[in-house]
Amino acid sequence: MTNHWNDLQNTDCALIIGANPAENHPISFRWLTKAKEKGGKIISVDPRFTRTSSQADVYAALRSGTDIPFIGGMIKYAIENNLIQKEYVAKYTNASFIVKADYDFHDGLFTGYDEATRTYDKTKWVFETAEDGTPVKDETLQHPRSVFQLLKKHFSRYDVETVCTVTGTPKQDYLDVCQTFCSTCKPDKSGTIMYAMGTTQHTVGSQNVRIYAMLQLLLGNIGIPGGGINAMRGESNVQGSTDFALLYDNLPGYLGAPKATVPEHATLKGYLEKETPPTGYWSNKPKFVVSLLKAWYGKNATKDNEFGYQFLPKGNKNYSHINLFQAMYKGELDGAFMFGTNPVVGGPNAGKEKEALGKLKWLVAMDLWETESASFWQKEAGSDPSKIDTEVFLLPASASFEKEGSVSNSSRWMQYRWKAIDSRGEARPDLAVIHELALKLKGLYAGSTKSADKPIQALDWNYGSGPEPDIDLVCKEINGYDLKTGKLLPGFGALLDDGSTSSGNWIYSGFYPEEGKNLAKRRDNKDTGGGNFLNWSYAWPMNRRILYNRASADPSGKPWSKEKAVIWWDAKQKLWVGTDVPDFKPITAPNEPGGVGPFIMNKDGVGLLFAPTLNDGPFPEHYEPFESPVPNAFSKQQLNPATVIMEGDFNKKGKNSKYPIVATTYRVSEHWQSGSMTRNQEWLSELVAHMFVEMSEELAKEKGIKNKDQIIVSSARGEIKAYAMVTKRFKPYKVNGKKVHQIGMPWHFGYKGFATGDTANRLTPHIGDANTMIPEFKAFLCDVRRADV
Amino acid sequence: MVEMNLNRRQFLKLSGAAAATLAIVELGFDEKNVYAKTKEFKIAKTKVTPTICCYCGVGCGILVHTKNNTVVYTEGDPDNPINEGKLCSKGTTIRQLYTSKKRLTKPLYRAPGSKKWEEKDWEWMLDTIAKRVKETRDASFIEKEEGITVNKTEKIASLGGAALDNEETYLLAKLMRGLGVVYLEHQARI
């Protein structure tokens, strides 16, 4: 989230799309209710009339997988009706930049496309630059190749008629959404966009998020109270685990992992030169990288050995979830660890992921429960144990209140949890187990003289001499030290690239600035202004609560409006002051060089309406899901041209003639993710005890299905049995004159726990977004029938 | 009843270790009287520890009441500014994460081809896991690829971690990179 939960009370309009917070983030809704009490409006856009929709002022239905037309039409509406915040757009975005003549767009394809590799040559999408390398601009936004004019042209095709034909949204509902949300373009109004997996789990997931951000930039809604682009996280620490790089392509703090396929990455020098932009905050990247290497390799990281850079693994391919399971399915992996994860229920095309686990030689699962994934080899999983040679180690894990440590919520607030009780039975905290395993492995490698064993030998692992690791030492290592004095660092501004500082994750540096002062433990709940609670816990980066808050003030440093002030330039003190920590250099005056651009992480300090970095185009464009009931109305390109297609046995594709119904997955308030944390509890199991599939009255009638009937849902990947839940919450769509049905189902169920049921993900496909490879769980094709037919 | 006249903050203090003196100072009545009444409540004289909910990303505060080495009660933390004491259905039932009879309490091992789990001790489990990791790593380690130092194994994967604490994710990311693991993924992708 650019903003935070408490800040939702400051919004004049919340557009909730691809998410259902009233159900899945229930307590967040208190702050939306407060906003409503102050006159704010809530818009819910969802294929189904959800609990969130029931609390909304405006509800609009859309067919799964059509967010880009929906928002693209809003962009056209805002531009045509002069509902954009012009000065903000001209000064704080790249709307004024001139794009080189190479760029073009025709029938669904941008220039530079190579069909054979399904990739784009992004050098065709670059800006014109002056001799000093700065972009050429036209702040009147009239130049025909200015980003603004190209954007206007691109979205001119997204007229209301075409949009509603594709999304299936009733026209009046659509216009209500446009009018209500675009009214937040006024400087004294703010609108927020809240989203979750309904947005990201598509083959165009990244562009879905991008188009929301673009609309927010046009309306001047980023960096202000009650504004922003707010991803609602589904797990208590999926924010933190992402920040700490439990993803193949990152190192902690969003530093790119070095790759064997980039020749420059062969050396630290080359890597830093290649990956460090000349301007913007990322120009400090060498300090973050070298400090990380010092945290990981300690004294074994020296100037002479590139600070241990060569110890890091360098991959040569995409190792993300779908590819990982395909490799496992082919028998290319020998062993795997699973820490509190359950892909046999939660993974896409879960039947195949279960089969893949059986190809491993060994599997280590650490969990509070015997999950479906840890016991994939059992008869009740549909497996023949005698034919599965995988050795499985199941380790009992402590619950969150049986240990201590911090978690980072969606607001980036790093809150500490204290230990309430000793672990149940022989369960142990993951920290202790990871620590002990590391020590054992280092022990096994201790005497080796092989060069291959140097990386593990060099890993600095000093967390106290007791049997349990000293968590305080881990916290301090993350924050980082001045290695000359041994003192903790006050923040990432103090990091250096000469090996004299360390920090295990630069974005968190500053949370532990002095001995005895772990700021994640703070519990002062006095509102310091604006609902920002600056003395409660710690928000990365540097306790900033509203990111890009420089944008709340105009170029001269005055707030755009009194109502939406966050920080402003105080000429007397020569300082940015306000109710939040400035997300900006606090002493840089607006009239100094670099005193205007609020988007400090971007090279030019502005928001990217035109993003030449994405794999599938500098502007979002509509493509149909991998499995779609209709042809793409916008171009000949049916599927995102840059998406990797993995067909064959591992991922069968269903035809819409055989599987005409659109399906999506969702969650219920009483269960959580793959269900292992809720279906193993008595009360929650009783509250929602059965797997169900929700459908419209119209579809039920066509199929002869009554409420509570047992039905079969089938896709090209498999079949599941469930109870029918016939409601008015789904309605058939009229898509290009054709009636299209959509159904939905929870993905919480499996065969373990108190409440059991068939697994929805047996139906979902192994195809991912063109940038992130996040699977397309939220739009696929199926058919339904009564179980007794 | 006496307790109903207390505000909840005072009640919390009363239920803690400092109950005796606080009762007298803040309420002006006899401590024995207070104990006599609070004893009837299951959260009387419990230890109260603040935590953060382990479910979604809102980050609600929860108070965990423990007594006699079990969790007797949990409730929303009124001091946490995010939820101000309110909780959803999942946050409300967090106690059952401790009490559920389905909790794993011992390390379990499944041998190749076996139909069942066997109980093992931690020492054996971690020693054996370390051995397996070493065997696989040693047999698959790639030091160089086309002249570039790559120091990796493509035979070991690590999945999950979105429910771990920050400090745990940090050590896990560090250890896996240290071993050369490149198949490193978690729930942010799915």
Backbone angles phi, psi at A427, to 5 degrees: -60, 150
Asked if pLDDT for residue B62 goes beyond 90, the answer is yes
Widest distance between CA atoms in chain A = 80
Whether B41 and B59 share a structural domain: no
> Which structure tokens are listed for A698?
């119209």
Contact call for residues B21 and A372 (beta carbons, < 8 A): no
| Backbone dihedral angles phi then psi of residue A122, each to the nearest 5 degrees | -75, -10
From-to residues of CATH 3.40.228.10 in chain A: 5-231
Q: Residue B112: helix, strand or coil by DSSP?
A: coil
Cβ-Cβ contacts under 8 Å for A781 (sequence gap 6 or more): A627, A628, A629, A654, A655, A656, A659, A660, A661, A662, A663, A715, A716
- How far apart CA A684 and CA B96 sit, in angstroms, is 10
The CATH label, of 3.40.50.1370, 3.10.20.90, 3.30.43.10, 3.40.50.740, for the domain at A321-445 is: 3.40.50.740
A393 closest CB neighbour out of B129, B138, B167? B129
Residue B10 belongs to a domain: yes
Q: Are A626 and A770 contacting, i.e. CB atoms less than 8 angstroms apart?
A: no
Residues of B in contact with A449 (CB under 8 A): none
In a domain, B59, yes or no: yes
Residue A59, CB half-sphere, CA atoms under 13 Å: how many? 16
| pLDDT for B22 beyond 60 | no
Give the other-Cβ count within 10 Å of B43's Cβ: 17
- Inter-CA distances, B171 with A176, A477, B131, B177, Å: 50, 10, 20, 10
Contact status of B104 with chain A (Cβ, < 8 Å): yes
Helix intervals (H) in B44-165? 89-92, 96-99, 122-140
CATH 3.40.50.740 residue window(s) in chain A: 321-445
Give residue A287's pLDDT.
98
pLDDT of B29 over the 80 cut = no
Q: Which CATH class is domain A661-786?
A: mainly beta
pLDDT of residue B16: 44
Closest CA relative to residue B168, chosen from B16, B81, B54:
B54
Chain A residue numbers with beta carbons less than 8 Å from the beta carbon of B117 are 370, 394
pLDDT for the residue numbered B44: 79
User: Is A321's CB within 8 Å of B103's CB?
Assistant: no
Architecture of domain A5-231: 3-Layer(aba) Sandwich (3.40)
What SS3 class is residue A215? helix
Render the burial of A778-789: b for 16+ CB within 10 Å, e for the rest.
bbbbbbbeeeee
Is residue B99 domain-shared with residue B114, that is, in the same domain? Answer: no
| Interior angle at CA A247, CA A243 and CA A250, nearest 5 | 65
Test mutation, B72, B86, B104, B182, chain A, max A CBs within 10 A: B104
Contact A313 B152 (CB under 8 A): yes
How many other C-beta atoms are found inside a 10 Å radius of the C-beta of residue A388?
22
Confidence check: pLDDT of B36 > 60: no
Q: Which two tokens stand for residue A77?
A: 């509406």
Which of A263, A426, A753 shows the shortest C-beta gap to B106?
Answer: A426
Nearest alpha carbon to residue B163 among A770, A248, A477, A236: A236
Task: Clarify whether residues B122 and B179 are in a common domain.
Answer: yes
Note which residues in 16-35 of chain B have CB less than 8 A from chain A.
none
* pLDDT band with cut points at 50, 70 and 90 for residue B33: low
Rounded-to-integer distance, Cα A553 and Cα A735, Å: 43
Distances, alpha carbon A611 to alpha carbons A142, A151, A567, A640, in Å: 20, 11, 28, 17
User: What residues make up the domain containing B66?
Assistant: 49-103
Of B80, B97, B109, the CB nearest to A368: B97
- A5–B117: do the CB atoms touch at under 8 Å? no
| B177 and B126, same domain (yes or no) | yes
B94/A401 CB distance under 8 A = yes
Which pLDDT belongs to residue A466? 82
Residue intervals in chain A for CATH 2.40.40.20: 661-786
Nearest to B183 among A248, A386, A403 (CB): A248
Interface contact flag, A234 B187, Cβ < 8 Å: yes
Nearest-CA distance A565 → chain B (Å)? 21
Predicted pLDDT at B10:
43
Cβ-Cβ contacts under 8 Å, A369 against chain B:
102-104
Tens of pLDDT, residues B63-92: 999 999 999 999 999 999 999 999 999 999
Same domain, B114 and B96: no
Phi, psi (rounded to 5 degrees) for B22: -60, -40
Q: Give the E-state strand segments of A36-175 in sequence order.
A: 41-45, 58-60, 105-106, 109-110, 113-114, 119-120
B9 touches chain A (CB under 8 A): no
pTM of the entire predicted model: 0.95
Assess whether B128 and B169 both reside in one domain: yes
Chain B positions in Cβ-Cβ contact with residue A670 (cut-off 8 Å): 89-90
**Mean per-residue pLDDT pooled into runs of 10, chain A (789 residues):** 98 98 97 98 98 98 98 98 98 98 98 98 98 95 98 98 98 98 98 98 98 98 98 97 98 98 98 97 98 98 98 98 97 98 98 98 98 98 98 98 98 98 98 98 98 98 93 98 98 98 98 98 97 98 98 98 97 98 97 96 97 97 98 98 90 96 98 98 97 98 98 98 98 96 98 98 98 98 96
Q: Using CB atoms, which residue from A368, A395, A684 is nearest to B89?
A: A684
Using an 8 Å Cβ cutoff, are A13 and A191 in contact? yes
Q: Which of B82, B103, B124 is the last residue of a domain?
A: B103
Total domains in the fold of chain B = 3
Across the range B12-29, mean pLDDT stands at 43
Using CB atoms, pick whichever of A334, A417, A683 lies closest to residue B155: A334
**What CATH number did the domain enclosing B87 receive?**
2.20.25.90
Give a yes or no: residue B190 inside a domain: no
B114:A370 CB<8 A: no
CA distance A162 to A75: 14
Chain B: closest CA distance from residue A692 (Å): 19
